[in-house]
């Protein structure tokens, strides 16, 4: 089973999944492997991490396409080279078209740095602090055509501390992302085995 991970930046969530696949021996135990890491940004730091792990990488730059639809079609062509069982969005900062989401329906997941349905969209940590929340966290969910609203697969909560800054909260949430996402991917693969 091939996992394709889409990134736009540092790729720390991708790196955590790659590390778990190695340390938990997903190839032997789940017949699963990270087949490719694809980014829409040529300068995404995560590309160097993936290459360092011997994982094929490619770049499909949204700048090269006149429309969202044309970009998504090119991205899907590249994704399909690896015949993915599961497509993992990890810090992927593009809103995908309904066409793309529908094409991978049921095998497309994302990580969002809030306890959905609270705080869909951007700047989640600043918004949680400004709202006076006492807890914040992360959600792994299936991607549907409605942004940040698909069925929830996993969540983890962290405390919001007095005088927390968005960066401090982001770091606390990110540590949980790196624990929760690999486990959610492994659980998804196990379920895919039995279905
Ligand atoms: C993280 O906050 C993640 O929740 C969001 O993108 C940020 C960076 O992720 N989706 P990564 O380090 O590129 O995996």
pLDDT digit string (tens) for 116-173?
Answer: 999 999 999 999 999 999 999 999 999 999 889 999 999 999 999 999 999 999 999 9
Cα of 69 from ligand 1 centre, angstroms? 24
Do residues 44 and 11 touch, judged by C-beta distance below 8 A?
Answer: yes
Task: Please list the residues that pair with 157 across neighbouring strands.
Answer: 137
Fill in the DSSP letter of residue 63. G
The answer on whether 110 is annotated among ligand-binding residues is yes
The alpha carbons of the chain give a radius of gyration, in whole angstroms, of: 16
By most ligand atoms within 8 Å of CB, the mutation choice from 7, 16, 113 for ligand 1 is 113
**Euclidean distance between CA atoms 58 and 40, whole angstroms:** 9
Q: Tell whether the model's pLDDT for residue 195 goes beyond 80.
A: no
Which residue is closest in CA terms to ligand 1's atom 10? 91
> Ligand 1: which residues within 6 Å by Cβ?
7, 9-14, 90-91, 111, 113, 174, 177
Query: Does pTM top 0.90 for this prediction?
Result: yes
- Measured at the CA of 37, the angle between CA 115 and CA 33, to 5 degrees, comes to 90
């Amino acid at each position: 089973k091939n996992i394709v991970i889409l990134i736009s930046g540092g790729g720390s969530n991708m790196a955590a999944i790659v590390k778990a696949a190695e340390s938990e021996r997903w190839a032997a135990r789940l017949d699963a492997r990270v087949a490719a890491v694809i980014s829409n940004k040529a300068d995404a730091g995560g590309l160097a991490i993936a290459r360092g792990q011997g994982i094929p990488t490619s770049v499909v730059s949204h700048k090269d396409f006149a429309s969202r639809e044309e970009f998504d079609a090119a991205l899907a062509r590249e994704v399909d080279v690896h015949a993915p069982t599961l497509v993992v969005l990890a810090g992927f900062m593009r809103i995908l078209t309904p066409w793309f989401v529908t094409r991978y329906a049921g095998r497309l997941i994302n990580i969002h740095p809030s306890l959905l349905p609270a705080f869909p969209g951007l700047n989640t940590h600043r918004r949680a602090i400004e709202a006076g929340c006492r807890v914040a966290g992360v959600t792994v969910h299936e991607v549907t055509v409605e942004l940040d609203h698909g069925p929830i697969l996993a969540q983890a909560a962290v405390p919001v501390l007095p005088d927390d800054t968005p960066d401090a909260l982001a770091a606390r949430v990110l540590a949980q992302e790196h624990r929760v996402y690999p486990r959610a991917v492994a659980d998804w693969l196990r379920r895919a085995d039995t279905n």
